[in-house]
Chains A and B, each alone.
Chain A
Amino acid sequence: MEISIQEEGGISVLQLKGRLDLASGAGVKEQVKQLLGQEKSLIHLNLSQVDFINSSGLGVLVSIMKEVRMRKGRLTLSELVSYVQEIFEITQLSHIFEIYTSQQEALNSYQSVKVS
């Protein structure tokens, strides 16, 4: 799995590419852990290039969400391909993650929270 990170207005945006499973999930978790260690707890994951996810990958995302919440941060996801979106719905994880259609929409939502 390839992970690229950039900062967008105080939000750490991670673009994931490839399969999110047991082996690759550890790398994603480690990257987020490093960000949290640097007090960066506003995290956005763009999943547009994740072409495979299984329950181990979902477990990694749940674990990341818990870590972020513990630090009073926020985690958003965007641009899930239809197959990945379907798995979120089957497992009902679509109810607990903040999922946006586009990355821009997700990033705008952080601004709305700041204003209100």
Chain B
Amino acid sequence: MATYQFEYSSVLESEEKMLTDIELILSRHLVTGHLNRAFTLAVSEAFTNALTHGNELDPKKTVTLRVTINKTDLIADIIDQGRDALRRIADRKPAQLLSEGGRGVDLIRHYANTARFVEVESGGLLVSIHFSRRDKVAIKTS
């Protein structure tokens, strides 16, 4: 089992850094194809939400990304330093077809085997995303 942990400043440029880090980890552990893309997308969605909604692009706040990987599982924990995480999740409105936002959580839930949303002690949000390396990622069109 391998665990990787990163801290990113809450600025837009961090998204590219995070994607590069994920790419390297997945390549090192030979995670390819659809699972690679689905995992990257799910992490990206949680990460963007952490940057913009959780930390409100405050460069003094950080987003923590922890990736745990073994032969059977891929797990990413994304933690922000925002407040009232559970209220944020509860207030979330489903995206309308012509909405510009609001699709991220749905995409995470679509692709991941499980996704948990937990408020940490400081009030920030921990999103824990689990993918099984044994399952084929299903293509489910709704």
Contacts and interface: CB of A to CB of B under 8 A. Distances in A.
Contacts of A79: none
Nearest to B95: A91
Interface of A: 19, 21-23, 26, 52, 54-56, 58-60, 62-63, 66, 83, 86-87, 89-93, 95-96
Contacts of A95: 97
Contacts, number: 69
Interface of B: 12-13, 15-16, 19, 34, 37, 40-41, 44-45, 48, 51-52, 95, 97-104, 106-107, 110, 139-142
A108 B19 CA distance: 37
B142 A22 contact: no
Given A55-B45, A55-B107, A56-B48, A96 B97 contact: yes
Contacts of A22: 12, 15, 48, 51-52
Contacts of A21: 15, 19, 44, 48
25 contacts: A21-B15, A21-B19, A21-B44, A21-B48, A22-B12, A22-B48, A22-B51, A23-B13, A23-B15, A54-B48, A55-B102, A55-B107, A56-B104, A58-B103, A59-B103, A83-B34, A83-B37, A86-B139, A87-B107, A90-B107, A90-B110, A90-B140, A90-B141, A90-B142, A91-B106
